[in-house]
Structure 1
């Protein structure tokens, strides 16, 4: 039978005589912003001032409101603390009548007194933990907030034979209310501090964002000045790239790169730009993966896109104006009748920024066939405007126009010695046009020494362009064709096709039926300057194999590669077949 141990008896057992003697110290700790664990441990020490109490503990409901976590303690052993801290008490482990007393106190919102825990059979799982601690009974009072919610429990661990008397339980309950008050106070203080810190962080971020906006605004104004000065798309994009600190790329309607660097690393963020009724382009940014979505780069992309869109619209408007002006100029330059008034035509060319006395390459853009019901004129007009836009920054300026179903470019030859394919060369321009206009085939024709020679060069190129088909390569350069290219000047396209088909048909048939390599050998032999050893080396075969194949070519075609006249016919037929794409894919690969 548990007995009541009054205050006088408690003194005899070495306990404090005043259970509230240190509450002033508790108030000081709260005032000094002590952490909650330290404050609640102070309450737990006050609990041990009660008669017969060996240890004190304060348990709080976890964030999920399903467990009790030991948050303040006094006198408990390290082993007990370790278990209680690592394994919070589950509220599901108790009921109103059974289970750990502190769990029952929370569930019932009433004070629970268990004088002898070892007499409670339902506490069996905890008894091995209780026994080494030396306590016998447990008294637990709920921590009830003003709104009636129970937030935890203050627990007293009692010595053997000790039980709180009628005057002691009210003191323990008062300590429970005190623990509730200081817990709510400290939590409110911590919440207020977190709110203040959050507000301070928000202010810091807002200040940083305003500073970044001012910095970006300076770059945007610089980009607008470049656009107003007509500097072109590339300088505008470079300035915006420097401002945002990310790789920007301007993509055309079919995904072709108009400006910028598409090789940037990071996640892709893009913004659409509507240049005119039938053209939507994209500004794409490669944002570093660690950049948060609310950082300046993503939301500044819209502002950059607006500036780029304005520049694209300016270029489109200028291209439209120049397209109308140069369209008639090209027609006159290519017309022998108009060139009778050469000075007047050249004067218009000079006024538009061209150099009539400069050498020009004739470039013809063959557009894909228009589907049934489509408007071929509209397709040529769109392609013409597209070519004008793509050549707008090229200096010296090309002359762009359209003749029939083809777009014609008279491209000035660079005066310096640039390697073929270098930026500014005709080959580089042709490759750019082929990539920008879906399905187009681009033919580089003869070179006109001046614009006065353009009609003759155009006549030769127009004959060759009629040989192009869907199977032709994207770019064909007539300057690579040599003597066969010269022969194209005088022959009709249909006659050339018939010549190529008649000459090469036996070789095509042989390669298809026997898996031979006669066409590839002929092409490699011509490319090697008719050197049999060099041909064998490039094709990784024996010299005798090359000689055998050349004999077979002569047997099948009736033309001997060693005879000059036959050699010219074979070379011309192969050239026409390559231009028209009439040879099966792969037949010419070594």
Structure 2
């Protein structure tokens, strides 16, 4: 009974099955006075493997378990252990080396150094064979009936302990699985609660008209990280961060933009989910935002709580953003119509009389007409040489353009004037360099305008005529007329961007006559220069342009061009001869300057 109690105590102490069986093997050696013992288990229904042993070498155990496995179904290879299991009774062998039936495994006995052995089967509930327990003696020995009774009793107790240990292990596994399922259920419950809170916050943001920025802020808080909304041009339109990470703003935006860019180039079926921006760095969740089946941008999120979004239906996150974008688009379209009407009235000849009312309406749209603006006239390349569609811009173009410029603040006043898109933008100085998502200087705003116009007319080049420092209600009409007159000179060879202010006083002279008349004037005057040989034309044109830009100073022109003043003087005399002008006369200089401005705008001179 003490052996049975010892085995059960081992089971209750959570000893492993091998440890319990090794304990049984030690008791076998003590009871029978043998040097070695092993407890075999039935494995895979057909093999006996050593589950625990005492005194046996690791080499012998490995030989029995792997190199020379004891297979119950192979009748040609029998050992006392397999015979005990198959026969259901104890097997005793007094001398393994003298028994002819043991010749097949005699080498194994010699390796371990035993001669006699006694094996008894182990049976579980219902008589199921569990294995056997075998004792080995170094010397030849005749085992007595008492020895057989003791090993059979030990086999019975060991079988009970083995089944108890297995039941305990099964119960522990079930308990671990139950704890795991409970923890998973608790985590799922917490995740659902967090998702519900996020959904409520997103709905509140929509109902409270907090805009896309409010939604992005709620998402960033939910994951305890950062979130950014990008338009289809991969410009950030809203951004928020809890500020708890170590990355700075510029690095975070760069990583989020990379994720949006990667998703933009991926197949539509794989654009929602978690991905890594590059080979290193934390994962980023990215999803497209679609309005009426058209992708309007990308939402990117990163942070410790990113698993929250991974387990959610993407529509629960993207739908509020899409609704807000749709509402914003509707608002933008309304503002665009109001702005277009205001711009039309600003360009009317009665604008000065109605200035106070126009100022008030402009202020409602975020514009101070008393501050400097720059005007930009956007016009596509002609569809045929010298011809342009009667109306290149329609109401839909105005709506599409204002939608693309929705993130400019304040948004420009944009209207359709004589089939051309005219934008009036508050003039700003460039801000100091720093990690800002969008540069708000005039250069950046002009870039946004040109990019938006290019996207509006993807099949044609878009020319942008600009005039800066437009101040006062009276100046808006005259500026538009000047830009419209300059637009009449445009050809397929004209530059994409022309700043009329760069031409100084001569730029104003573009309004001195119809476009065709100015073009004919420039062609007639400069034709001899334009038809000269290429090398001569290039040198003479460069000299003429630099001389005019130098205030008609030969010394300054030679310094600019790194030429001797005599070379410059010679080229100027050559130009006088070709064009039949006298560059010492102010009238001739004025004519040439105006012709050069017209040629620059139209691009016909450089196209030769």
- Change in Cα spacing, 1:482 to 1:57, as seen in structure 2 (3 Å) is farther
Q: Within 1, Cα distance between the matches of 2:17 and 2:361?
A: 88
- Change in Cα spacing, 1:258 to 1:190, as seen in structure 2 (3 Å) is same
Q: Within 2, Cα distance between the matches of 1:486 and 1:478?
A: 8
Instruction: String of CA shifts for 1:101-155, please: whole Å, max 9, x gaps.
Output: 599689979789695776756558x74xx64532246667777776998776655
Residue number in structure 2 paired with 1:5: none
More divergent stretch after superposition (163-172 vs 299-308): 163-172
Q: Within 1, Cα distance between the matches of 2:334 and 2:217?
A: 26
- Change in Cα spacing, 1:196 to 1:583, as seen in structure 2 (3 Å) is farther
Q: Within 1, Cα distance between the matches of 2:21 and 2:40?
A: 9
Residue number in structure 1 paired with 2:231: 252
Of 72, 80, 104, which residue of structure 1 is paired with 2:52?
72
1:23 correspondence with 2:23: no
Instruction: String of CA shifts for 1:65-105, please: whole Å, max 9, x gaps.
Output: 99876543323346656x579x8568698861356959968
Of 240, 249, 254, which residue of structure 1 is paired with 2:219?
240
Residue number in structure 2 paired with 1:209: 191
Instruction: String of CA shifts for 1:184-218, please: whole Å, max 9, x gaps.
Output: 21321321232233134325524653564477468
Query: What is the CA-CA distance between 1:454 and the residue it aligns to?
Result: 1.4
Q: Within 2, Cα distance between the matches of 1:376 and 1:23?
A: 106
1:186 correspondence with 2:186: no
Query: What is the CA-CA distance between 1:457 and the residue it aligns to?
Result: 0.9
Residue number in structure 2 paired with 1:13: none
Instruction: String of CA shifts for 1:312-342, please: whole Å, max 9, x gaps.
Output: 1221111122223233222232233677655
- Change in Cα spacing, 1:326 to 1:506, as seen in structure 2 (3 Å) is same
1:463-542 correspondence runs (5 A): 463-465=485-487, 475-482=497-504, 485-490=507-512, 499=522, 509-510=534-535
Query: What is the CA-CA distance between 1:181 and the residue it aligns to?
Result: 0.8
Of 149, 169, 177, which residue of structure 1 is paired with 2:159?
177
Query: What is the CA-CA distance between 1:444 and the residue it aligns to?
Result: 2.6
Residue number in structure 1 paired with 2:295: 280
Query: What is the CA-CA distance between 1:38 and the residue it aligns to?
Result: 2.5
Of 64, 71, 75, which residue of structure 2 is paired with 1:97?
75
Residue number in structure 1 paired with 2:260: none
1:429 correspondence with 2:445: yes
Instruction: String of CA shifts for 1:296-318, please: whole Å, max 9, x gaps.
Output: 46638654423322321221111
2:32 counterpart SS class? coil
Residue number in structure 1 paired with 2:482: 460
Query: What is the CA-CA distance between 1:370 and the residue it aligns to?
Result: 9.5
Contact 1:365 1:408 in 2 (8 A): yes
Q: Within 1, Cα distance between the matches of 2:114 and 2:533?
A: 103
1:409 counterpart SS class? strand
Residue number in structure 2 paired with 1:307: 320
Contact 1:443 1:477 in 2 (8 A): yes
Count of residue correspondences:
539
- Change in Cα spacing, 1:507 to 1:113, as seen in structure 2 (3 Å) is farther
1:22 counterpart SS class? helix
Of 359, 380, 384, which residue of structure 1 is paired with 2:398?
384
Q: Within 2, Cα distance between the matches of 1:109 and 1:471?
A: 104
1:385 counterpart SS class? helix
1:403 correspondence with 2:383: no
Residue number in structure 2 paired with 1:327: 340
Contact 1:445 1:458 in 2 (8 A): no
Contact 1:359 1:448 in 2 (8 A): yes
User: TM-score when scaled to structure 2?
Assistant: 0.67
1:33 counterpart SS class? coil
Query: What is the CA-CA distance between 1:419 and the residue it aligns to?
Result: 7.3
Q: Within 2, Cα distance between the matches of 1:491 and 1:97?
A: 117
- Change in Cα spacing, 1:303 to 1:230, as seen in structure 2 (3 Å) is same
Structure 1 gaps, min length 5: 1-19, 537-542, 585-590
Contact 1:359 1:412 in 2 (8 A): yes
2:35 counterpart SS class? strand
Residue number in structure 2 paired with 1:588: none
- Change in Cα spacing, 1:40 to 1:520, as seen in structure 2 (3 Å) is farther
- Change in Cα spacing, 1:465 to 1:577, as seen in structure 2 (3 Å) is closer
Instruction: String of CA shifts for 1:7-66, please: whole Å, max 9, x gaps.
Output: xxxxxxxxxxxxx6411111122223333333232233334355364333345678x999
Contact 1:380 1:407 in 2 (8 A): no
Q: Within 2, Cα distance between the matches of 1:419 and 1:433?
A: 21
Q: Within 2, Cα distance between the matches of 1:507 and 1:220?
A: 69
Residue number in structure 2 paired with 1:450: 472
2:342 counterpart SS class? helix
More divergent stretch after superposition (497-506 vs 477-486): 497-506
1:36 correspondence with 2:17: yes
Of 238, 255, 258, which residue of structure 2 is paired with 1:263?
255
Structure 2 gaps, min length 5: 240-252, 257-276
Contact 2:332 2:403 in 1 (8 A): yes
Of 370, 378, 393, which residue of structure 2 is paired with 1:365?
378
Instruction: String of CA shifts for 1:270-319, please: whole Å, max 9, x gaps.
Output: 223333x363223332546xx79844466386544233223212211111
User: TM-score when scaled to structure 1?
Assistant: 0.69
2:114 counterpart SS class? coil
